[in-house]
Structure 1
Amino acid sequence: MPAPTLRRATEDDIAFIMETERLPGYERTVGRFEEDEHRAYLADPAWRYLVHPEMGLALLHGIGSRDGNLCLRRFIVTKTSSGYGSVLLPLVLSHVFEETATHRLWLHHVKENTKAAKLYARFGFLHEGIEREAGLRPDGSRFDLVNLSLLRPEWASRRG
């Protein structure tokens, strides 16, 4: 079997992206966009959507940032506890640091999402702090966000 690869998403991938965002459990940890938002972001050069049509996706925001900061806005697998995250995250990191001028890749995750925390730590992301009650769910409840980042030199030293 060939090694999995990510590709840039197109409008033809919006149904897959929306379906994946709406898998059970992600409403509390990932969030979702509506179709018109996805169309607008796909057309915006500051956004980059990467997909593996069976395993998952990554949404990046801040391409071309003057300071070299890029946000991993969403990282979603189609099947949790499947190992897909451990396969796809290194592909995302390689894309970010080999295909863009990014110096610092940052993200935040819901504090209670311990699976995500373990995955990101395993690939070198460092804890930067907590944004208390920074997230708002559709039901009106608030939640804390944990900030993490990975710098280009850190990524390079882990590869080496």
Structure 2
Amino acid sequence: MTMLRLARDQDAAFITEVWTRAENAMFLPPPDPGEVVEHIVLGHAFLWTAPDRPLGFATINLWDPGNDGISVIAMDRPGNGAGREFLSALVDHLFADPGTNRVGLDTAADNHRAMAVFARLGFVAEGMFRECWRRPDGLWVDCPHFSILRREWLARKG
């Protein structure tokens, strides 16, 4: 059985290793020094776990009251559908706070797998952050932004 839980100090190595993998460098800016530990200390880092191992992680930003953002989400072994289940559980968790009205996130414009997951979960494309970060190869990346509102999420959940 998989579950969502807050990341702990001992999870920092897993989060850092997945976040900084070469295959993720195309879609995720690298963490700043100390960023992983800071997310854990603030209670802004989550793990998606199986009984025997972590499957993925996410970090969140609390932009404004009622407006949460998922800053990073990555899976240990992408492509098996676990990411959609993880994102759904994370959004459920964020909307469990009655003050949260909106959850937003973005990705690299060529991360088609992520955008398909966002669409399947009901996220709406809001616009494009043009050339929002530079990849290790020096190319600038556009980042489409998506969000879902509490009422939309609850309507989908039935």
| TM-score, length basis structure 2 | 0.89
Structure 2 partner of 1:127: 125
- Distance in 2 of aligned mates of 1:101 and 1:50: 20
Structure 2 partner of 1:77: 75
- Distance in 1 of aligned mates of 2:108 and 2:132: 10
Residue among 101, 104, 109 paired with 1:111: 109
- Distance in 2 of aligned mates of 1:90 and 1:41: 20
**Cα gap change, 1:24/1:82 in structure 2, threshold over 3 Å: closer, same or farther?**
farther
**Cα gap change, 1:147/1:58 in structure 2, threshold over 3 Å: closer, same or farther?**
same
Whether 1:58 aligns to 2:58 is yes
CA contact 1:14–1:35 (8 Å) conserved in 2: no
User: Which stretches in structure 2 are left out of the alignment for 5+ residues?
Assistant: none
C-alpha deviation, 1:87, in angstroms: 1.8
CA contact 2:4–2:47 (8 Å) conserved in 1: yes
- Distance in 1 of aligned mates of 2:81 and 2:39: 28
C-alpha deviation, 1:138, in angstroms: 3.3
CA contact 2:102–2:147 (8 Å) conserved in 1: yes
Q: Deviations over 1:20-55 (max 9, x none)?
A: 1123410010223155222223223xx611102431
Total equivalences in the alignment: 154
Structure 1 partner of 2:14: 16
User: Which stretches in structure 1 are left out of the alignment for 5+ residues?
Assistant: none
Q: Give 4+ residue runs of structure 1 displaced > 4 Å after superposition.
A: none
Structure 1 partner of 2:136: 138
- Distance in 1 of aligned mates of 2:82 and 2:116: 14
- Distance in 2 of aligned mates of 1:57 and 1:129: 25
RMSD after superposition: 1.7
Higher strand share: 2
The letter for the 2-side match of 1:149 is S
| TM-score, length basis structure 1 | 0.88
C-alpha deviation, 1:99, in angstroms: 3.9
Residue among 9, 22, 25 paired with 2:23: 25
C-alpha deviation, 1:90, in angstroms: 1.2
